[in-house]
């Protein structure tokens, strides 16, 4: 991961639209420059900007947050639980959970099981426990468990700033629907807080949106943490620091307790150290 600063905006470039500036400076088409903006990897004066028509001023510093391409292999995601019905993997960041060119599709090829299906989603840049069913019966039973809210999940999160009090229950609707997240502080300083989050509901981007509304967005969140200056350790954070640490539920066929834990990935551990957290 690196941030590359372009030469300051020249007098002749003042007033240019950001998308035109990027296309000219980097030798891109405007479509390619717009895709770069849509990926939330462009900063102007250390603030993330994704508006194509953003007007630049003389002396502005435009930076590009560069990342290595994600791996397309399935074996970069460790299997942490398996039986005749279920597979639980530790998804690496940068992988789609399901759909085209996803972890699900890769695992179908490597296992030879074309019925393998993820029963829930993790965001592309969220790492950790992902549950897949090996057959349709198990898929339907697991979806029913999620609907009944009997699948317990915990997430490790690095949020910006000091989150107080140490234990909070956030009941803030998401897209007009009830949403509840319990958060507990593991370590904190003025720059950031290491949290354990337990969602009761599973709304889209629930933890990220709840923490944004609390005023402490997830470190590295390109979608919900953009309206601020990026400084200090966060300049080296390439993705949102959100990791699905554990899952626990009653096996849909046997009724036995299933528990899986995904260790923190290296980039998360590195970010903890950079922020002075444990």
55 lies in the same domain as 154: no
Which candidate, 98, 102, 96, 78, places its Cα nearest to that of 88?
A: 78
**Are residues 26 and 90 located together in one domain of the fold?**
no
39 and 175 part of one domain: no
Last residue of one domain, picked from the residues 66, 94, 118: 66
Residues 31 and 111 in one domain: no
Q: Which of 180, 130, 126, 131 is nearest to 156 (CA)?
A: 126
Number of domains composing the chain: 2
Q: Do residues 79 and 194 share a domain?
A: yes
> Which of 66, 99, 117 is the last residue before a domain boundary?
66
Same-domain status, 185 and 141: yes
The residue assigned the tokens 């009090």 is 165
Co-location of 125 and 217 in the same domain? yes
Do residues 44 and 133 share a domain? no
Per-residue pLDDT, 222: 83
According to DSSP, residue 175 is labeled T
Decide which of 45, 66, 87 is a domain's last residue. 66
Residue with structure tokens 């947050």? 65
Q: By the 8 A CB rule, do 212 and 222 touch?
A: no
Q: Are residues 57 and 83 in the same domain?
A: no
State whether the Cα torsion 30-123-48-269 is positive or negative: negative
Structure tokens at 102: 């996803």
Q: Concatenate the DSSP letters of all residues of 194-261 into one string.
A: EEEEEESS--TTHHHHHHHHHT-PBTT-TTTS-SSB--GGGGG--S--EEEEEEEEE-TTT--EEEEE
Confidence (pLDDT) at 28: 80
Instruction: Indicate if 59 and 110 belong to the same structural domain.
Output: no
Domain that residue 23 falls in: 2-66
**Strand, coil or helix: 179:** coil
Q: Are residues 185 and 94 in the same domain?
A: yes
Which residues, 6+ apart, have CB-to-CB distance to 244 below 8 Å? Answer: 91, 122, 126, 127, 128, 129, 130, 153, 154, 155, 262
For the chain, how many residues are written?
278
Residues 21 and 126 in one domain: no
Q: Please report the pLDDT score of residue 76 as a whole number.
A: 65
Q: Could you give the 3-state DSSP secondary structure of residue 267?
A: helix
Q: What is the pLDDT along the chain (278 residues), one digit of tens a residue?
A: 467 888 899 999 999 999 999 988 887 888 888 878 877 788 999 888 889 999 999 999 999 886 544 333 444 678 999 999 999 999 999 888 988 788 998 999 899 999 999 999 999 999 999 999 999 999 999 999 999 999 999 999 999 999 999 999 999 999 999 999 999 999 999 999 999 999 999 999 999 999 999 999 999 998 887 656 667 787 788 899 999 999 999 999 999 999 999 999 999 999 999 999 99
């Amino acid at each position: 991961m690196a941030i590359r600063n372009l030469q300051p905006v020249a007098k002749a470039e003042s007033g240019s639209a950001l998308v035109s500036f990027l296309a000219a400076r980097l030798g891109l088409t405007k479509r390619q420059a717009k895709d770069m903006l849509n990926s939330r990897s462009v900063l102007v004066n250390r603030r993330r900007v994704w508006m194509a028509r953003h007007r630049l001023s003389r002396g502005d510093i435009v930076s590009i947050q560069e990342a290595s391409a994600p791996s397309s292999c399935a074996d970069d995601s460790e299997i942490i639980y398996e039986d005749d019905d279920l597979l639980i993997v530790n998804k690496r960041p940068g992988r789609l959970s399901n759909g085209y060119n996803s972890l699900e599709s890769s695992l179908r090829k490597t296992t030879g099981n074309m019925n393998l299906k993820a029963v829930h989603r993790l965001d592309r840049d969220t790492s950790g426990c992902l549950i897949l069913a090996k057959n349709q019966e198990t898929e339907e039973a697991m979806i029913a468990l999620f609907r009944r809210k009997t699948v317990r999940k915990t997430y490790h999160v690095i949020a910006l700033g000091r989150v107080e009090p140490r234990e909070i229950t956030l009941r803030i609707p998401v897209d007009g629907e009830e949403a509840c997240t319990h958060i507990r502080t593991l370590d904190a300083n003025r720059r950031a807080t290491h949290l354990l989050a337990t969602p009761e509901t599973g709304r889209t981007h629930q933890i990220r949106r709840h923490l944004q509304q609390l005023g402490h967005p997830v470190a590295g969140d390109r979608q919900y943490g953009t309206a601020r200056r990026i400084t200090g350790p966060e300049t080296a954070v390439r993705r949102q620091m959100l990791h699905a640490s554990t899952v626990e539920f009653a096996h849909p066929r046997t009724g036995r307790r299933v528990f899986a834990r995904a260790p923190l990935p290296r980039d998360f551990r590195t970010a903890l150290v950079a922020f002075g957290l444990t």
